[in-house]
């Protein structure tokens, strides 16, 4: 019998979503700081059969935590102890910023979904970089074999004009790439005005080229570079991004970010309307994100690493994405509903599939 769903209903379901997130995240970090997380980590460590090679890196599991949960690199070690094969930190911007006004995070429990308009609230690249460096060193020390991987997701500072966006991204790339295992350019959040305009290939080409070159120079090595796209792109636009990624020699694409759509929800329309603008994530995104993945796979074949995210809840969901062409899979929203042992359950399910 699983205890967490009842605990969530009693302790968190009535609470402001952002406050609940902070309390839960603080508890995870506390478990790590008092040593309980390290004991737990031995129990939740992914089975050796799940080891995955991608981006020139070794991942202990193909399943990882998407950007958005740990925005500032405060809990990388603690989260890795829960069984995630990688933790993607961010989105981080060149300058510190508070994000949008609260409330800005809302649950749609009936849909197992979340609407957020956080607005890239974070401490800024210069403050986050030392945390990444320390976490990377700690993970190397703690894992004699394959350690969890650290991804870093970067975005545009809100006050920076679109015409100055490239240089703003380069600030983050220079600062964060030396401590990143891989880097993601986020041009697909709906919560920074004008950001999605950067998905246009004419604008995206110089941005990705500059970030890739700058990241490699700053790190003194090749830092795998990916771009994260929205599920709301047309099929033609998806094809354009795929061609651009191949042309530029990117290492991969992450599909997908949150959606601005609200179709097919079970929640009361009045409740959905009251949440206001923002990106929708969770179970309702499952089919569209899977469709984008399949389209990308048909366009790029095995030439790029595809990371699937959106509506992932179970080991069966993860396996479906892997079967559809993803090399790695990420989740986030279901973590809020499933609790701290979610990644471990998914890893065990994947391992059973591989033994059968």
Residues tagged active-site: 189
Q: What is d(CA 257, CA 64) in angstroms, rounded to the nearest whole number? A: 15
E strand or H helix that includes residue 282: strand 279-282
Q: Is 191 annotated for ligand binding?
A: yes
Q: Is 117 annotated for ligand binding?
A: yes
Q: Is 120 annotated for ligand binding?
A: yes
Q: What is d(CA 15, CA 253) in angstroms, rounded to the nearest whole number? A: 35
Q: Is 52 annotated for ligand binding?
A: no
- Give the burial class of 14: count Cβ atoms within 10 A of its Cβ; 0-12 exposed, 13-18 middle, 19 or more buried: exposed
2, 18, 88 from 21: Cα distances, Å: 20, 5, 17
Q: Is 70 annotated for ligand binding?
A: yes
Q: Is 228 annotated for ligand binding?
A: yes
Q: Helix, strand or coil for residue 247? A: helix
Q: Is 133 annotated for ligand binding?
A: no
Q: What is d(CA 308, CA 330) in angstroms, rounded to the nearest whole number? A: 6
E strand or H helix that includes residue 323: helix 315-323
Q: Helix, strand or coil for residue 145? A: coil
Q: Is 311 annotated for ligand binding?
A: yes
What number of CA atoms fall less than 13 Å from residue 8's CA on the CB side?
Answer: 16
Q: Is 353 annotated for ligand binding?
A: no
Q: Is 258 annotated for ligand binding?
A: yes
Q: Is 203 annotated for ligand binding?
A: no
Binding residues for FMN: 67-71, 91, 153, 186, 228, 256, 282, 311, 332-333
Residue positions forming the annotated binding site for substrate? 71, 116-120, 186, 191, 257-258
Please report, in range form, the residues annotated as the binding site.
67-71, 91, 116-120, 153, 186, 191, 228, 256-258, 282, 311, 332-333
């Amino acid at each position: 019998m699983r205890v967490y769903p009842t605990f969530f209903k009693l302790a968190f379901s009535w609470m402001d979503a952002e406050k609940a997130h902070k309390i839960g995240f603080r508890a995870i970090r506390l478990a790590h700081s008092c040593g309980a997380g390290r004991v737990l980590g031995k129990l939740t460590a992914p089975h050796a059969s799940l080891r995955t090679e991608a981006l020139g890196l070794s991942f202990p599991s193909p399943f990882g935590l998407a950007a958005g949960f740990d925005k500032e690199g405060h809990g990388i070690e603690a989260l890795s102890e829960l069984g995630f094969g990688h933790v993607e930190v961010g989105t981080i911007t060149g300058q510190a910023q508070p994000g949008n006004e609260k409330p800005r995070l809302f649950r749609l429990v009936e849909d197992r979904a979340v609407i957020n308009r956080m607005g890239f609230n974070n401490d800024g690249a210069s403050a986050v970089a030392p945390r990444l460096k320390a976490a990377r060193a700690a993970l190397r020390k703690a894992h004699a074999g394959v350690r969890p991987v650290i991804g870093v997701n970067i975005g545009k500072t809100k006050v920076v004009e679109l015409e100055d966006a490239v240089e703003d991204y380069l600030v983050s790339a220079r600062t964060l790439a030396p401590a990143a295992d891989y880097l993601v350019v986020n041009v697909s959040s709906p919560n920074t005005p004008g950001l999605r305009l950067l998905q246009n290939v004419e604008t995206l080409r110089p941005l990705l080229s500059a970030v890739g070159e700058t990241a490699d120079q700053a790190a003194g090595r090749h830092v795998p570079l990916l771009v994260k796209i929205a599920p709301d792109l047309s099929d033609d636009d998806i094809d354009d991004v795929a061609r651009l990624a191949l042309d530029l020699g990117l290492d991969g694409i992450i599909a997908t970010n949150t959606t601005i759509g609200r179709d097919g929800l079970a929640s009361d329309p009045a409740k959905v309307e009251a949440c206001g603008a923002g990106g929708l994530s969770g179970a309702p995104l499952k089919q569209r994100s899977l469709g984008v993945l399949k389209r990308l796979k048909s366009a790029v074949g095995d030439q790029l690493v595809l990371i699937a995210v959106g509506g992932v809840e179970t080991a069966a969901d993860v396996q479906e994405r892997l079967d559809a062409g993803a090399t790695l899979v990420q989740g986030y929203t279901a973590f809020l509903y499933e609790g701290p042992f979610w990644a471990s359950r998914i890893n065990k399910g994947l391992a059973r599939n591989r033994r059968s």
